[in-house]
């Protein structure tokens, strides 16, 4: 037990989780912005933008995240010398945020689109029947329902993003998966306690997010 506790003095476990939380936080913001823009493209009546949105989603949703993050370090940084910061570590961190955002934006886009799809056609017809034009109908009737319908799928994306932030290990970011590897390599007598420490860390982060978004999606659900 003493040996187990001394691990925490030797290695900065909380710091590694903090990196994952930061990755998640920044990637969540960027992917939400990009994903919303893509969703707008896909639901717009403009064919070229629809095509762009659909192609983006199909390409990024079907590419392994590991390739995208490895691409950031090996191709963007290694071959094209793209630099997002002067500091070496910060550069890798930002490349990882970029990769995570590009990948999850595709899922955010689909989550928002599925939210719009939960709105029955009759709602739009009723809005037009009482004389609302496009913008008031969208603002007052359709989008409020669509956002509520999108909460649960967006929560799923956020949970996936939190767990996927560990893949940043493939992008040379020092985060919890990498630290767990180092710790196990140096203390192979404590493989199982070390794994469960990190696993429970994720359980503690992920389950409240799930509970919160499930609660919110039910609380705000549109009764139909």
Partner 1 sequence: MSAQQVLFDAPGPKAKRNILIGNIAGALLIVGLLAWLTITLAERGQLEPAKWTPFLEGRTWEFFLLPGLLNTLRAAGVAIVTSVVLGLLLGIGRLSHFLPLRWLAGVVVEFLRAVPVLLMMIFLWLAIGAAGIMRPQDIPFVAVVTALTLYNGSVIAELVRSGVEGLPKGQREAGMAIGMTRNQSLRSIEVPQALTAMLPALISQFVVILKDSALGYIITYTELLQNARRLGVGEGNLLQALLIAAVIFIIINFALSSLANRLSKLLSFRTTGTTKKENVSNVVVADPTNA
Q: Which of the residues 89 through 128 are near partner 1 (CB under 8 A)? A: 113, 116-117, 119-121, 123-124, 128
| By the rule CB under 8 A, 148 interacts with partner 1 | no
| By the rule CB under 8 A, 210 interacts with partner 1 | yes
Distance CA 196, CA 14 (A): 14
For 129, other C-beta atoms within 10 Å of its C-beta total: 9
| By the rule CB under 8 A, 177 interacts with partner 1 | yes
Among 80, 129, 130, 223, which residue sits at the site for partner 1 (rule: CB under 8 A)?
80
What is the closest distance, in whole angstroms, from the C-beta atom of residue 178 to partner 1 in the complex? 9
| By the rule CB under 8 A, 66 interacts with partner 1 | yes
Torsion of CA 17, 23, 29, 32, to 10 degrees: -100
- 8 A C-beta contact, residue 23 and residue 96: yes
Which residue is listed with tokens 């990948």?
Answer: 103
What is the closest distance, in whole angstroms, from the C-beta atom of residue 120 to partner 1 in the complex? 6
| By the rule CB under 8 A, 138 interacts with partner 1 | yes
Tokens matching residue 99: 């990769």
- 8 A C-beta contact, residue 32 and residue 103: no
What is the closest distance, in whole angstroms, from the C-beta atom of residue 100 to partner 1 in the complex? 13
| By the rule CB under 8 A, 140 interacts with partner 1 | no
Cα angle at 111 between 132 and 43, to 5 degrees? 45
Among 9, 79, 130, 223, which residue sits at the site for partner 1 (rule: CB under 8 A)?
79
Q: Specify the residue, 32 or 68, whose C-beta has the smaller distance to partner 1.
A: 68
């Amino acid at each position: 037990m003493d040996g187990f506790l001394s691990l925490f003095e030797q290695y900065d476990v909380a710091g590694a989780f903090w990196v994952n939380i930061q990755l998640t936080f920044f990637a969540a913001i960027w992917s939400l912005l990009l994903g919303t823009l893509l969703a707008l493209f896909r639901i717009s009546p403009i064919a070229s933008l629809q095509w762009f949105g659909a192609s983006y989603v199909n390409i990024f949703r079907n590419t392994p995240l590991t390739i995208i993050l490895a691409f950031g370090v090996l191709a963007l940084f290694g071959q094209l010398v793209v630099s997002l910061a002067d500091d070496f570590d910060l550069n890798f961190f930002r490349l990882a945020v970029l990769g995570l955002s590009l990948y999850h934006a595709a899922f955010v886009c689909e989550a928002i689109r599925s939210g719009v799809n939960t709105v029955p056609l009759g709602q739009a017809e009723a809005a037009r029947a009482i004389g609302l034009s496009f913008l008031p109908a969208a603002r007052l009737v359709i989008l409020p329902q669509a956002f509520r319908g999108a909460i649960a799928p967006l929560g799923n994306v956020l949970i996936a993003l939190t767990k996927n932030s560990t893949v940043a290990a493939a992008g040379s970011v020092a985060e919890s998966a990498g630290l767990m590897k180092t710790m196990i390599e140096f203390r192979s007598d404590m493989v199982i306690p070390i794994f469960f420490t990190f696993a429970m860390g994720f359980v503690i982060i992920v389950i409240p997010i799930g509970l919160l978004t499930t609660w919110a999606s039910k609380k705000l659900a549109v009764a139909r």
